[in-house]
Structure 1
Amino acid sequence: MIGMAICRSLRDAGWTPVAGDLAPAIDSIDWDHPDNIDIRSVLLDVSDRQAVEASVADVLPEGLLLGGLVNCAGVLRDTFLGAVHEDHMRLMFEVNVAGTARVTDVYAPHLVDGGAIVNIGSLTGEIGSFVGASVYGATKAGLRAYTRYLAVELGARGIRVNNVAPGVIRAPMSPSMAAVSGGEEQCAERSILKRIGEPEEVASVVEFLLSSKSSFVTAQTLLVDGGLATP
């Protein structure tokens, strides 16, 4: 939901977004629906280097360059201490961290100088109050560090790299994370704004970080959590 909200926000701002995902996710979306007009889709498995490399021809026909890149792929599996499933742990690191690095490594050479990259992190990479989300949080903390390093490497080309860290958002992954911390309503009550967020509210921040309005912002992690992380 967050990924499609980002695509719609970017389209409405004048971008030509291309959504990449696995076949089940791509097939589940009605691309002919008016909400999805002018959003292209490509099959993309971020855990497979060859698949990522092969996607370039579909995303950028005729040698076109990217104006921006959003790394939004992510998976969440509960990891309670003493009952951590090896496959779940491996999957989260493979998609959340390595997948982001893999896509960026392939697509960064195709970014225009002065472009921008936005990674989608999580509140769990900033605080430790969600029981059962330790490994997920570790992957998102790693994504924050990766953002800082990448910003340094790409700064000479004028490419800005930032990280958006959503809190509890009305999206498929949030109920699983919130359930082990008292439910979405309790999480909402712990935030300053006393509610959970909407995908569109994350999307608007991503659009800002890709735009020239944030031309002097790089290597930052921006929390979009309604004040949930505030002590």
Structure 2
Amino acid sequence: MSTVVVTGGAGGIGMAICRRVVEAGHLAVAADVAVAIEAHGGADEPGVSFVEMDVTDRASIERAVASIVAEGHTVTGLVNCAGVLRDTFLGSLSDDDMRFMFEVNVAGMARVTDVVAPHLVDGGAIVNIGSLTGQMGRFVGASVYGATKAGVAGYTRYLAMELAPRGIRVNNVAPGVIDLPMSRSMDAISGGPVESAKHVPLGRLGTAEEVAEVVEFLLSSRASYVTAQTLLVDGGFIAW
């Protein structure tokens, strides 16, 4: 059976993607750091297996992918969902926070793809998880995070061109304000989740499941002629 590898798979959006992939008839491998897997609680997730992976450590990625391949999985999809957000307000920039965001959000995505791509079947698909912050600048204090997510969009376009000869499609899903724990920079525009919803034309925050639905579509043959695209899942937030 076909398998989709999801980095950051033990998190809110990552696990929603894993579950949606399983509903679509695939197996899912939730690849994440040990503390995130433990925080998930080790609950039984039918069709989902867990593997420890630190996207900042190539050796960790190679061990994880080797174990996936050794178990006989046919990898048809990769979702680069691992990501971190740290506030970077001017005047209080932390070099460690900036490095960490680039290491996970951009370099980590590239490392994982570099290791997984040779095992990905021709005609498969990759979906990177970006953010509306990579498309606009309304969140004060999220400048460096937004820069990393703009990097995700750029990487997606280049990778799509490189993998097109193998029929592998690469797309970027950019969520808007999702109903998950937020940082101060995400709250700064309006003062919290309730106020944030007032800035969304649809009048509410998005859900992890709504993001997962779009990801599953892009992984599937229903999106067979879609590649190198960034698809916003933001309730219309960026339109005004």
TM range (shorter): over 0.9
- Residue number in structure 1 paired with 2:26: 15
Q: Secondary structure at the match of 1:137?
A: helix
Are residue 119 (structure 1) and residue 125 (structure 2) matched?
no
Q: Residue 87 of structure 2 contacts residue 141 of structure 2 at CA under 8 Å; is this kept in 1?
A: yes
Q: Distance in 2 between matches of 1:184 and 1:178?
A: 9
Q: Are residues 95 and 70 of structure 1, via their aligned partners in 2, closer, same or farther at CA, if it must alter by over 3 Å?
A: same
Number of positions where the alignment pairs a residue of Structure 1 with one of Structure 2: 228
Are residue 209 (structure 1) and residue 218 (structure 2) matched?
yes
Q: Secondary structure at the match of 1:83?
A: coil
Q: Secondary structure at the match of 1:156?
A: helix
Are residue 3 (structure 1) and residue 14 (structure 2) matched?
yes
Q: Are residues 43 and 62 of structure 1, via their aligned partners in 2, closer, same or farther at CA, if it must alter by over 3 Å?
A: closer
- Report how far residue 176 of structure 1 moved: 3.6
Choose 183-192 or 4-13, whichever is displaced more.
183-192
Choose 23-32 or 152-161, whichever is displaced more.
23-32
Q: Distance in 2 between matches of 1:39 and 1:161?
A: 23
Give the AA of the match of 2:30: A
Give the AA of the match of 2:68: V
- Report how far residue 64 of structure 1 moved: 4.1
Q: Secondary structure at the match of 2:194?
A: helix
- Find the partner of 2:52 among 39, 43, 60: 43
Q: Distance in 2 between matches of 1:194 and 1:117?
A: 31
Percent identity, aligned pairs only, is 61
Give the AA of the match of 1:9: R
Give the AA of the match of 2:187: A
Q: Which runs of 5+ in 2 are unaligned?
A: 1-11
Q: Secondary structure at the match of 1:103?
A: helix
Q: Are residues 32 and 190 of structure 1, via their aligned partners in 2, closer, same or farther at CA, if it must alter by over 3 Å?
A: closer
Q: Are residues 57 and 85 of structure 1, via their aligned partners in 2, closer, same or farther at CA, if it must alter by over 3 Å?
A: same
Deviations 1:83-118 (A, max 9, x none): 100100000000000000000000001000000000
- Residue number in structure 1 paired with 2:6: none
Q: Residue 142 of structure 2 contacts residue 186 of structure 2 at CA under 8 Å; is this kept in 1?
A: no
Are residue 106 (structure 1) and residue 115 (structure 2) matched?
yes
In angstroms, what is the RMSD of aligned CA positions? Answer: 1.1
| TM-score normalised by the chain length of structure 2 | 0.92
Q: Which runs of 5+ in 1 are unaligned?
A: none
Q: Secondary structure at the match of 1:229?
A: helix
